[in-house]
Amino acid sequence: MRMIFLGAPGAGKGTQARIVAEKHGLPQIATGNILRQAVKDGTTLGQEAKSFMDAGGLVPDGVMIGLIHERLQQPDAQKGWILDGFPRTQAQAEALDALLAKVQQDLDLVVDVQVPDAEIVGRLGGRWVCKQCEAPYHSKNNPPKTDKVCDHCGGELYQRADDKPDTVASRLTVYHTNTSPLIGYYQGRGNYRAVDGTQPIETVERALEAILAGVSR
Ligand code: AMP
Protein backbone atom coordinates (compact mmCIF):
# COMPACT_ATOMS: atom_id res chain seq x y z
CA MET A 1 0.00 0.00 0.00
CA ARG A 2 1.42 3.37 -1.03
CA MET A 3 -0.39 6.46 0.17
CA ILE A 4 -0.09 10.20 0.62
CA PHE A 5 -1.56 12.25 3.45
CA LEU A 6 -2.45 15.76 2.35
CA GLY A 7 -3.73 18.51 4.62
CA ALA A 8 -2.88 21.88 6.15
CA PRO A 9 -0.36 22.08 8.99
CA GLY A 10 -2.19 21.03 12.15
CA ALA A 11 -4.98 19.17 10.31
CA GLY A 12 -3.96 15.99 12.12
CA LYS A 13 -2.41 14.21 9.16
CA GLY A 14 0.71 13.31 11.14
CA THR A 15 -1.39 11.89 13.97
CA GLN A 16 -3.45 9.79 11.57
CA ALA A 17 -0.50 8.78 9.41
CA ARG A 18 1.23 7.47 12.53
CA ILE A 19 -1.85 5.43 13.53
CA VAL A 20 -2.29 3.91 10.06
CA ALA A 21 1.45 3.21 9.79
CA GLU A 22 1.47 1.32 13.09
CA LYS A 23 -1.70 -0.66 12.29
CA HIS A 24 -0.57 -1.67 8.82
CA GLY A 25 3.15 -2.07 9.44
CA LEU A 26 4.14 0.62 6.94
CA PRO A 27 6.86 3.25 7.31
CA GLN A 28 5.54 6.76 7.97
CA ILE A 29 7.78 9.03 5.94
CA ALA A 30 7.27 12.47 7.45
CA THR A 31 9.46 14.96 5.62
CA GLY A 32 9.10 17.59 8.37
CA ASN A 33 10.44 15.08 10.93
CA ILE A 34 13.33 14.10 8.65
CA LEU A 35 14.23 17.77 8.16
CA ARG A 36 14.00 18.63 11.88
CA GLN A 37 16.31 15.70 12.65
CA ALA A 38 18.75 16.92 9.98
CA VAL A 39 18.70 20.42 11.52
CA LYS A 40 19.36 18.92 14.97
CA ASP A 41 22.24 16.84 13.59
CA GLY A 42 23.68 19.84 11.74
CA THR A 43 23.94 17.92 8.45
CA THR A 44 24.22 19.64 5.04
CA LEU A 45 20.49 18.95 4.51
CA GLY A 46 19.69 20.56 7.86
CA GLN A 47 21.81 23.62 7.07
CA GLU A 48 20.09 23.97 3.69
CA ALA A 49 16.60 23.59 5.15
CA LYS A 50 16.74 25.56 8.42
CA SER A 51 16.10 29.12 7.22
CA PHE A 52 13.11 28.06 5.10
CA MET A 53 11.62 26.09 7.98
CA ASP A 54 12.12 28.88 10.51
CA ALA A 55 10.29 31.30 8.20
CA GLY A 56 7.40 28.88 7.62
CA GLY A 57 8.33 28.59 3.93
CA LEU A 58 9.05 25.55 1.79
CA VAL A 59 12.42 23.90 1.42
CA PRO A 60 13.34 24.00 -2.32
CA ASP A 61 11.81 21.28 -4.49
CA GLY A 62 15.17 19.94 -5.67
CA VAL A 63 16.25 19.25 -2.10
CA MET A 64 12.94 17.58 -1.19
CA ILE A 65 12.73 15.47 -4.33
CA GLY A 66 16.29 14.21 -3.77
CA LEU A 67 15.43 13.37 -0.17
CA ILE A 68 12.30 11.38 -1.11
CA HIS A 69 14.07 9.65 -4.00
CA GLU A 70 16.68 8.36 -1.56
CA ARG A 71 14.20 7.50 1.20
CA LEU A 72 11.92 5.45 -1.07
CA GLN A 73 14.88 3.27 -2.01
CA GLN A 74 15.44 2.12 1.58
CA PRO A 75 14.58 -1.53 2.30
CA ASP A 76 11.67 -0.73 4.65
CA ALA A 77 9.94 1.27 1.90
CA GLN A 78 9.76 -1.65 -0.51
CA LYS A 79 6.57 -3.04 1.02
CA GLY A 80 4.78 0.33 0.81
CA TRP A 81 4.77 3.67 2.61
CA ILE A 82 2.80 6.59 3.93
CA LEU A 83 4.05 9.99 2.82
CA ASP A 84 3.24 12.62 5.43
CA GLY A 85 4.09 16.16 4.29
CA PHE A 86 5.22 15.26 0.76
CA PRO A 87 4.36 16.30 -1.93
CA ARG A 88 3.72 19.93 -1.06
CA THR A 89 4.05 21.41 -4.57
CA GLN A 90 3.03 20.44 -8.09
CA ALA A 91 6.71 19.91 -9.00
CA GLN A 92 7.07 17.46 -6.08
CA ALA A 93 3.89 15.62 -7.12
CA GLU A 94 5.12 15.32 -10.70
CA ALA A 95 8.53 14.12 -9.53
CA LEU A 96 6.86 11.47 -7.36
CA ASP A 97 4.80 10.32 -10.36
CA ALA A 98 7.97 10.04 -12.40
CA LEU A 99 9.76 8.07 -9.65
CA LEU A 100 6.83 5.66 -9.38
CA ALA A 101 6.49 5.25 -13.15
CA LYS A 102 10.17 4.34 -13.35
CA VAL A 103 9.74 1.45 -10.91
CA GLN A 104 6.27 0.58 -12.27
CA GLN A 105 4.49 1.23 -9.00
CA ASP A 106 1.13 2.88 -8.37
CA LEU A 107 -0.08 5.32 -5.78
CA ASP A 108 -2.98 3.55 -4.05
CA LEU A 109 -4.52 6.36 -2.05
CA VAL A 110 -4.40 10.11 -1.45
CA VAL A 111 -6.06 11.07 1.83
CA ASP A 112 -6.90 14.72 2.39
CA VAL A 113 -7.50 15.61 6.04
CA GLN A 114 -9.63 18.76 5.89
CA VAL A 115 -9.77 21.38 8.66
CA PRO A 116 -10.72 25.07 8.18
CA ASP A 117 -8.00 27.69 8.77
CA ALA A 118 -9.86 29.23 11.73
CA GLU A 119 -9.44 25.99 13.65
CA ILE A 120 -5.81 25.42 12.61
CA VAL A 121 -4.41 28.43 14.48
CA GLY A 122 -5.86 27.28 17.82
CA ARG A 123 -4.77 23.71 17.21
CA LEU A 124 -1.14 24.58 16.56
CA GLY A 125 -1.06 26.83 19.64
CA GLY A 126 -1.87 23.75 21.74
CA ARG A 127 0.41 21.31 19.91
CA TRP A 128 3.22 19.54 21.78
CA VAL A 129 5.67 17.18 20.09
CA CYS A 130 8.05 14.59 21.50
CA LYS A 131 11.71 15.64 21.23
CA GLN A 132 12.74 12.04 20.73
CA CYS A 133 10.15 10.31 18.54
CA GLU A 134 8.15 13.30 17.20
CA ALA A 135 4.83 11.84 18.43
CA PRO A 136 2.29 14.69 18.30
CA TYR A 137 0.00 15.73 21.19
CA HIS A 138 -2.49 18.49 21.87
CA SER A 139 -3.02 20.02 25.30
CA LYS A 140 -6.82 19.63 25.00
CA ASN A 141 -7.66 17.23 22.15
CA ASN A 142 -4.92 14.65 22.69
CA PRO A 143 -3.04 15.20 25.96
CA PRO A 144 -0.24 12.87 27.09
CA LYS A 145 -0.95 10.69 30.15
CA THR A 146 1.77 12.55 32.09
CA ASP A 147 2.25 16.28 31.56
CA LYS A 148 5.01 17.02 28.97
CA VAL A 149 6.09 13.34 28.77
CA CYS A 150 5.64 11.19 25.66
CA ASP A 151 3.32 8.17 26.13
CA HIS A 152 5.28 6.17 23.55
CA CYS A 153 8.93 6.64 24.51
CA GLY A 154 9.03 8.76 27.69
CA GLY A 155 10.71 11.62 25.80
CA GLU A 156 10.23 15.26 26.74
CA LEU A 157 7.50 17.20 24.88
CA TYR A 158 8.18 20.64 23.40
CA GLN A 159 6.34 23.28 21.35
CA ARG A 160 7.68 23.84 17.83
CA ALA A 161 9.04 27.34 17.14
CA ASP A 162 7.17 27.38 13.81
CA ASP A 163 3.84 26.83 15.62
CA LYS A 164 3.90 30.48 16.80
CA PRO A 165 0.95 32.50 15.37
CA ASP A 166 3.05 34.63 12.94
CA THR A 167 4.78 31.63 11.41
CA VAL A 168 1.52 29.68 11.31
CA ALA A 169 0.00 32.47 9.20
CA SER A 170 2.87 32.12 6.67
CA ARG A 171 2.54 28.33 6.66
CA LEU A 172 -1.18 28.57 5.92
CA THR A 173 -0.56 31.00 3.06
CA VAL A 174 2.07 28.62 1.69
CA TYR A 175 -0.38 25.72 2.06
CA HIS A 176 -3.13 27.49 0.10
CA THR A 177 -0.77 28.77 -2.59
CA ASN A 178 1.36 25.69 -3.17
CA THR A 179 -0.15 22.60 -1.63
CA SER A 180 -3.95 22.78 -1.78
CA PRO A 181 -3.85 22.90 -5.64
CA LEU A 182 -2.67 19.27 -5.35
CA ILE A 183 -6.25 18.36 -4.43
CA GLY A 184 -7.18 19.13 -8.03
CA TYR A 185 -4.08 17.30 -9.24
CA TYR A 186 -5.14 14.05 -7.55
CA GLN A 187 -8.94 14.40 -7.58
CA GLY A 188 -9.47 13.22 -11.12
CA ARG A 189 -7.58 9.98 -10.61
CA GLY A 190 -10.09 8.00 -8.57
CA ASN A 191 -7.83 7.43 -5.57
CA TYR A 192 -8.43 10.75 -3.80
CA ARG A 193 -10.49 10.71 -0.58
CA ALA A 194 -11.29 13.63 1.73
CA VAL A 195 -11.96 13.16 5.44
CA ASP A 196 -13.38 15.68 7.88
CA GLY A 197 -10.43 16.38 10.18
CA THR A 198 -12.50 18.42 12.64
CA GLN A 199 -13.95 15.22 14.12
CA PRO A 200 -12.39 13.52 17.18
CA ILE A 201 -9.18 11.55 16.48
CA GLU A 202 -10.94 8.17 16.89
CA THR A 203 -13.71 9.18 14.47
CA VAL A 204 -11.19 10.23 11.81
CA GLU A 205 -9.31 6.99 12.46
CA ARG A 206 -12.49 4.95 11.81
CA ALA A 207 -13.27 6.94 8.66
CA LEU A 208 -9.78 6.16 7.39
CA GLU A 209 -10.11 2.48 8.18
CA ALA A 210 -13.32 2.38 6.13
CA ILE A 211 -11.54 4.09 3.24
CA LEU A 212 -8.58 1.70 3.46
CA ALA A 213 -10.88 -1.30 3.53
CA GLY A 214 -12.40 -0.10 0.26
CA VAL A 215 -9.12 0.41 -1.59
CA SER A 216 -8.55 -2.49 -3.91
CA ARG A 217 -5.00 -3.65 -4.35
P1 AMP B 1 5.87 19.74 8.89
O2 AMP B 1 6.46 19.06 10.07
O3 AMP B 1 5.30 18.78 7.88
O4 AMP B 1 4.90 20.83 9.27
O5 AMP B 1 7.09 20.46 8.13
C6 AMP B 1 7.85 21.46 8.78
C7 AMP B 1 8.56 22.32 7.74
O8 AMP B 1 9.46 21.50 6.98
C9 AMP B 1 7.66 22.96 6.70
O10 AMP B 1 7.09 24.18 7.17
C11 AMP B 1 8.65 23.21 5.56
O12 AMP B 1 9.50 24.30 5.84
C13 AMP B 1 9.49 21.93 5.62
N14 AMP B 1 8.96 20.86 4.75
C15 AMP B 1 8.47 19.65 5.15
N16 AMP B 1 8.07 18.93 4.09
C17 AMP B 1 8.31 19.70 2.99
C18 AMP B 1 8.11 19.52 1.59
N19 AMP B 1 7.56 18.40 1.09
N20 AMP B 1 8.48 20.52 0.76
C21 AMP B 1 9.04 21.64 1.24
N22 AMP B 1 9.25 21.89 2.53
C23 AMP B 1 8.89 20.92 3.41
Of the two residues 122 and 111, the one the predictor is more confident about is 111
The verdict on residue 162 lying in a domain is: no
CA distance 51 to 45: 11
Half-sphere exposure of 5 (CA within 13 A, CB side): 30
- Looking at residue 182, its pLDDT comes to 97
How far CA 29 is from CA of 55, 87, 162, 177, 190, in Å, comes to 23, 11, 20, 23, 23
User: Which is the closest atom of ligand 1 to the Cα of 55?
Assistant: 12
- Looking at residue 114, its pLDDT comes to 97
CA 32–ligand 1 middle distance (angstroms): 5
The verdict on residue 65 lying in a domain is: yes
Q: Say if residue 98's pLDDT is above 90.
A: yes
| Domain span at 102 | 2-115+191-216
- Looking at residue 216, its pLDDT comes to 59
Q: Say if residue 113's pLDDT is above 80.
A: yes
What is the total count of domains within the chain? 1
Kindly state the helix (H) or strand (E) to which residue 48 belongs, with its residue range: helix 44-54
Band (217; pLDDT cuts 50, 70, 90): low
The verdict on residue 158 lying in a domain is: no
Let me know: does 157 contact 130? Beta carbons within 8 Å.
Answer: yes
Of the two residues 57 and 121, the one the predictor is more confident about is 57
User: Which is the closest atom of ligand 1 to the Cα of 87?
Assistant: 19
